[in-house]
Amino acid sequence: MAAFFFGLLLFAMQPPPIPSRPAETGDGDWGPPPSPTASSPLALNDTGATSHPNGTFKQLPRIIIIGVRKGGTRALIEMLSLHSAVAAADNEVHFFDWESHFQKGIPWYLSQMPFALPDQLTVEKTPAYFTSSKVPERIHDMNPGIKLLLILRDPTERVLSDYTQVFYNRLQKHKRYQPIESLLVKDGEINLGYKALNRSLYHLHLQNWLRYFPLESIHVVDGDKLIRDPFPEMKRVERFLNLEPQINASNFYFNKTKGFYCLRDHGRERCLHDSKGRAHPHVAPAILHKLYQFFHEPNRKFFELVGRTFNWN
């Protein structure tokens, strides 16, 4: 009991937290966010100078895009930024998955956020969060009522995109690379030691998140549909976040040169970086078939977890 009251005394001595958009209540309003305990890296020990003369300030995110790598997270955050009630962090923060960042504490995390108006929601995206075993508990400790966005693609296509990114990165740095077949298959069987394959076992990672968050707190965005027809998927995201309907079909136009949709906002057009949408390497049909077979059962388990199906081969 004495330790309890001592903890309360320490908490009372903390400086007041930076104003933050509140956590959502059942009626769609947003109430005050929970405060992390003073004994963890999530404690807000030093608020610093985060306010801005124009009335904006930095606030902890009320929305986090948790993954998955090569699932379409950059497209999702760019499209979500079309909404005037959203303020998006520019870079992947890697606060909850990198120990070197996490040990800097919440003040550092807060410093990575954009300046936002009082009625805006701050969002950050770090695709590696989804597959990191320690991240769900850490985010829950910061705010158990946070909204989580998870964008997924066909797991086989995601593996190929994963390889493609690493392939081009090594090519640009004049480093050696392994042919994709040698990574996917070992001794005639699917190579379970290949990290890109593990990232596509969605059900295993989601099970860990569901230990800390109810399914209602996690919205799964269909990354394949977002590529083909982004508007309907973004309307679903708006509804999940209880945002006023604002994103419309005129915000998207198909760029024939790039081969994917670009964005139009108040007369300004922008597309994703040229590194997005790169062609995948050729994979022998027999190996592709083996991949599809491998993911059949993990996909079924994932569909059961989320209560819906996806058009994955």
User: How many CB atoms neighbour CB 297 within 10 A?
Assistant: 10
Q: Is 261 annotated as a binding residue?
A: yes
Q: Is 182 annotated as a binding residue?
A: no
Q: Is 280 annotated as a binding residue?
A: yes
Q: Chain centroid to CA 97: how far?
A: 12
Q: Residue 77: what residue type?
A: I
Q: Is 51 annotated as a binding residue?
A: no
Separation CA 153–CA 312 (nearest Å): 8
Q: Is 228 annotated as a binding residue?
A: no
Q: Is 199 annotated as a binding residue?
A: no
68 upstream amide cis, omega within 30 of 0: yes
Q: Is 203 annotated as a binding residue?
A: no
Q: Is 50 annotated as a binding residue?
A: no
Q: Is 257 annotated as a binding residue?
A: no
Q: Is 70 annotated as a binding residue?
A: yes
State the DSSP string of 236-291: HHHHHTTPPS---GGGEEEETTTTEEEEEETTEEE---TTTTPPPPP--HHHHHHH
Angle at 302 between CA 156 and CA 260, to 5 degrees: 45
Q: Is 277 annotated as a binding residue?
A: yes
Q: Locate tokens 């993911």: which residue?
A: 295
Q: Is 74 annotated as a binding residue?
A: yes
Q: Residue 235: what residue type?
A: K
Q: Is 26 annotated as a binding residue?
A: no
Q: Locate tokens 């996909």: which residue?
A: 299
Catalytic residue among 58, 70, 125, 147: 70
Q: Please indicate whether residue 70 is annotated as part of the active site.
A: yes
Active-site residue set: 70
Which residues sit in the known binding site? 70-74, 153, 161, 261, 276-280
Which residues sit in the known binding site for 3'-phosphoadenylyl sulfate? 70-74, 153, 161, 261, 276-280
